[in-house]
Structures are given as C-alpha cells and as structure tokens.
C-alpha cells in the first residue's frame, strides 16, 4: 500500500551497463526523447520512449537534478520509471551544455568508424611496404 508521501511521486531508477546512477522518488521528470522533450508527472499514462543524447531533468522536493544521458530507453509503468542508458553523468545547471558535447563526442559512431578506418589504412600501408 502506498503512503501519502509516495502517492504523488515517481520512483525512478537511472542505470547504465556499468553502474546505478540514481535511484529515488521524484516529483517530475523531463526526458530527452528522440521524438522530442517529454515531461512526466505522477499518474502519467504508461509510456516507453527512446532517448537521444541530452539532459534528463529530475525535480525532487522542488530541487532540480540534471543527468546527462547518452541514448537509451525510458519506461514508466504506474509509479515506477526506469532510464537505461549507455552512459550517464550527474551534472549541474551551468555544465549541462558541456556534458552534452562530451557525451556526443564520445559516442559519435562516425568518429569511431573514422578512427577504425584510419587504423586499417595504416595497417594496409605497412603491409604494402613489406618485401617478400
């Protein structure tokens, strides 16, 4: 049975494959969904959303908490919500934009492909210089 305090709150878990980043009750969640920003209050209809790299904003007793997330999924069923993301960094209001840039840079697939392609080209060039 829910207590009066928990009745108008959402129990949120934010996790990455490596760690549990946040767990607790919140009053409001703003999600950087791929389809656009999504605000969630207690008693919201069930929802599943794909996340894009951005800032997850939580409001807990009137105090905001900001978490930079890098892709993933959000799920809300009843009063329980889950954020599963590749990477999450708790930040402050002033550092939000820097965190987004860092997350995008570290998880830019084109940058990863370019780096791997460069390594392959270097290896091929080295093989061509070998005399058999």
Domain 4-107 fold? ATP Synthase; domain 1 (2.60.15)
When the pLDDT of each residue in the chain is averaged and rounded to a whole number, the result is: 84
Beta strand 20-26 pairing with 80-91: unpaired
- Summarised one tens digit per residue, pLDDT across range 8-64 is 899 999 999 999 999 999 999 999 999 999 999 999 999 999 999 999 999 988 999
| pTM score | 0.72
Total H helices, total E strands in the chain? 3, 8
pLDDT: which is higher, 4 or 125:
125
Instruction: Write b or e for each residue in 57-74: b if 16 or more Cβ atoms lie within 10 A of its Cβ, otherwise e.
Output: bbeeeeeebbbbbbbbeb
């Amino acid at each position: 049975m829910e207590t009066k305090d928990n009745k108008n709150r959402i129990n949120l878990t934010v996790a990455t494959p490596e760690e549990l980043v946040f767990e607790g009750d919140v009053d409001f969640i703003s999600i950087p969904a791929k389809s656009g920003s999504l605000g969630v209050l207690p008693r919201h209809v069930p929802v599943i959303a794909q996340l894009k790299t951005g800032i997850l904003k939580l409001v807990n007793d009137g105090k905001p908490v900001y978490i930079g997330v890098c892709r993933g999924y959000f799920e809300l069923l009843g009063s329980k919500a889950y954020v599963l993301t590749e990477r999450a960094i708790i930040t402050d209001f002033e550092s939000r934009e820097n965190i987004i840039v860092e997350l995008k840079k570290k998880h830019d697939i084109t940058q990863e492909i370019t780096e791997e392609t460069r390594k392959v080209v270097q290896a091929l060039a080295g093989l061509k210089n070998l005399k058999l």
